[in-house]
């Protein structure tokens, strides 16, 4: 469904859907999973770590961050905004299910928990992987474990006994939380902690396995060992850049 190297289709025109991103970014993973769920053909333009391409600066001049979705050349930024856009732009694409619940209350609940995920997980992951100077790893692990416990309870309510937060199929909150699973597994290895503990959050642990094995996710989610290696290489790069000249 996606390509990382082609710059034009057979007619010579740019692909209708392009994503500026990085294979290691959980926020980019959200966009790619949503596109895959909708069956939307797309091209991924990989950004170089530590650099910002001219395309990124042109299309996201405010935050200068990935991901950016380009749809017929029109940019949309911020991962959760992009996921909602994809759900609306391809509402009935190939018979794909809706990503956001149609019920207003359920939609509001999933948005609440998605923002909760973004409040708790990126910071904790940065600390546990050692990329946050002065971060307390024990405190970060405790806070992430507590967040997962809250999400275990939310899963019981949102899923209504089915396989995903979205019910029978992957939905908005599945994408919001699931995008971090590669890094959760990676920091468990890096920091020697156990976060997705079968004994403490059994429903979430089983959900995580289902989510990562889903056809829309399996080729998007990076292997934890690859992310561990990325962390080592990124730390070495930063050390070299910051070394006294």
Which CATH number belongs to the domain containing residue 112 in this structure? 1.20.1050.10
Domain boundary among 32, 65, 95: 95
With respect to residue 25, please indicate whether it lies within any of the assigned structural domains: yes
Whether 138 and 90 share a structural domain: no
Whether 91 and 108 share a structural domain: no
With respect to residue 244, please indicate whether it lies within any of the assigned structural domains: no
Whether 123 and 34 share a structural domain: no
Enumerate residue ranges in the chain where pLDDT < 70: 1-14, 237-245
Query: pTM for the full model?
Result: 0.91
At residue 77, the pLDDT reads: 97
Whether 122 and 198 share a structural domain: yes
- Residue where the block lists tokens 């409040």: 119
Whether 142 and 205 share a structural domain: yes
- Count structural domains, the chain: 2
Name the DSSP letter for residue 90: T
With respect to residue 132, please indicate whether it lies within any of the assigned structural domains: yes
CA nearest to 205, candidates 219, 194, 193, 220 = 194
At residue 2, the pLDDT reads: 41
Whether 114 and 90 share a structural domain: no
Tell me the average pLDDT of the chain. Answer: 91
At residue 126, the pLDDT reads: 95
Phi, psi of 23 (to 5 degrees): -60, -25
Whether 78 and 116 share a structural domain: no
Whether 167 and 70 share a structural domain: no
Whether 136 and 117 share a structural domain: yes
At residue 129, the pLDDT reads: 94
Q: Do 221 and 182 meet the contact criterion of CB atoms below 8 Å apart?
A: yes
With respect to residue 243, please indicate whether it lies within any of the assigned structural domains: no
Domain boundary among 72, 95, 118: 95
Whether 212 and 109 share a structural domain: yes
Identify the domain containing residue 178 by its residue range: 104-226
In angstroms, what CA-CA distances link 212 with 53, 174, 209?
Answer: 30, 11, 5
CATH of the domain at 38: 3.40.30.10
Task: Tell me the DSSP string of 114-169.
Answer: HHHHHHHHHHHHHHHTT-STT--HHHHHHHHHHHHHHHHHHHHHHHTTSSBTTBSS
At residue 11, the pLDDT reads: 47
With respect to residue 34, please indicate whether it lies within any of the assigned structural domains: yes
At residue 143, the pLDDT reads: 97
Domain boundary among 40, 69, 95: 95
Whether 90 and 147 share a structural domain: no
């Amino acid at each position: 469904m996606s390509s990382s190297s082609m710059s034009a289709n057979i007619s010579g025109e740019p692909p209708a859907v392009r994503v500026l991103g990085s294979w290691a970014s959980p926020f980019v993973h959200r966009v790619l999973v949503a596109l895959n769920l909708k069956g939307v053909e797309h091209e991924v333009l990989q950004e170089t770590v530590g650099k910002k391409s001219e395309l990124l600066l042109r299309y996201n001049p405010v935050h200068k961050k990935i991901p950016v979705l380009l749809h017929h050349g029109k940019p949309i930024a911020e991962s959760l905004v992009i996921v909602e856009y994809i759900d609306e732009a391809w509402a009935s694409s190939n018979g794909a299910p809706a990503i956001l619940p149609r019920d207003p209350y359920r939609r509001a609940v999933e948005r609440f928990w998605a923002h909760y995920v973004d409040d708790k997980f990126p910071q904790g992951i940065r600390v546990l992987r050692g990329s946050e100077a002065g971060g307390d790893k024990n405190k970060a692990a405790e806070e992430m474990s507590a967040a997962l416990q809250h999400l275990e309870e939310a899963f019981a309510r949102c899923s209504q006994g089915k396989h995903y937060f979205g019910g029978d199929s992957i939905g908005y909150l599945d994408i919001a939380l699931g995008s971090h699973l590669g890094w959760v597994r990676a920091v468990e290895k890096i920091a020697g902690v156990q976060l997705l503990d079968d004994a403490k959050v059994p429903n979430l642990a089983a959900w995580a396995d289902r989510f990562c094995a889903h056809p829309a996710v399996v080729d998007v989610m990076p292997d934890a060992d690859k992310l561990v290696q990325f962390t080592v290489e990124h730390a070495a790069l930063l050390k070299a850049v910051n070394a006294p000249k």
